[in-house]
Amino acid sequence: MRFNLLRFFRPKPAADHTTPDGTVADHDDGPSEIAQEIVILASINGGAPERVELFDMNIRGARVLVPFQFAPSELSDAPVALDIEHTSGSWNVRANAQMTQLNHWSDDRVMLELEFTRLGELYAQLDNALGRYFNRRGSDRVVPAEDDRVGVRLAYGPHRVRGLASDLSSTGICTRAPLVQAAVFHLGERIKAYISLPGTSEEIEVPGVVKHGYRHGEDVHLGVEFDLSAPCPMTERRTEYLKYVERRRKAGALLELQRRRGA
């Protein structure tokens, strides 16, 4: 069944707010910064374990930065084992995973995106103390700089809507667009998004699904979840997109630090 979003446009939920560090999060979000508290050793296809850098993690999977010489040369179904330990040494867990994305990150590192498998075994190792590291949002969302906007075009059949990103994450984007144009979209509709990052001349195309929408004045905010299950321009330019999201996260964190020091 398809639902016209116009029937469900509502004021922005009070539980969803922009935090001082530039992210948008629910009140029940877990910590946004865990990488400095976690040490991870990764073993690919039964090979010798190698220390990797945590990028982010939740109960469904993790993103890690892997030394170039240790990284696989191509995406495969080879099993990955992660030994995850707190820096205090107070706990450690074993997580089994499979690779879902492999992207060049820098001259000496590769971004490896992993989906946890054998979740029952992972759940069995978690207690209330460990749960906060895993029971987090799939992605923290960041907001573009006020003077450096992110343009978005949404395409569905013959319909085309232009808007601006109100927030972004590694797995989706929320676009603000005029109500009179955006009302043609439906919840669950499969669309294509074309994202124009600051400083780039070529849009990043990515398929996605409309997950939610709410009205804000004369505009509508449409939440789109990316579909990266098949190769597309976004999978090819994944690193470029993720680096932008990471820059905005760091910029927000710096502003929050300055705010606290000035308080």
In tens, the pLDDT along 139-190 reads 567 899 888 899 999 998 888 999 999 999 888 999 999 988 887 788 888 9
Q: Which helix (H) or strand (E) holds 211?
A: strand 204-216
CA dihedral 122, 99, 22, 142 (to 10 degrees): -130
Percentage of the chain modeled with pLDDT above 70: 81
For residue 35, pLDDT over 70 is answered with no
pLDDT band at 225 (very low <50, low <70, confident <90, very high): very high
pTM for the full model? 0.62
**In contact, 83 and 210? CB cutoff 8 Å:** no
Domain 35-134 carries which CATH code?
Answer: 2.40.10.220
pLDDT band at 263 (very low <50, low <70, confident <90, very high): low
- In the prediction, which pLDDT does 177 show? 92
Please state the rounded mean pLDDT for residues 215-242. Answer: 88
- In the prediction, which pLDDT does 33 show? 58
- In the prediction, which pLDDT does 127 show? 66
Interval 36-73: pLDDT, tens? 788 899 999 999 999 999 888 877 888 899 998 888 88
- In the prediction, which pLDDT does 139 show? 57
Q: Is 27 helix (H, G, I), strand (E, B) or coil?
A: coil
For residue 75, pLDDT over 80 is answered with yes
Count CA atoms closer than 13 A to 71's CA, side-chain side: 25
**Side chain identity at residue 157, one-letter code:** G
Count CA atoms closer than 13 A to 92's CA, side-chain side: 12
For residue 23, pLDDT over 90 is answered with no
Measured between alpha carbons, how far is 52 from 39 in angstroms, rounded to an integer?
8
Please state the rounded mean pLDDT for residues 4-27. Answer: 41
Please state the rounded mean pLDDT for residues 89-108. Answer: 86
Please state the rounded mean pLDDT for residues 242-256. Answer: 85
Q: Where are the domains of the chain?
A: 3-28+141-253, 35-134
Question: Residues, the chain, total?
Answer: 263
Would the CATH topology of 3-28+141-253 be identical to that of 35-134?
yes
For residue 27, pLDDT over 50 is answered with no
For residue 118, pLDDT over 50 is answered with yes
Structure tokens at 159: 């319909």
Q: What is the mean pLDDT of the chain?
A: 80
Domain 3-28+141-253 carries which CATH code?
Answer: 2.40.10.220
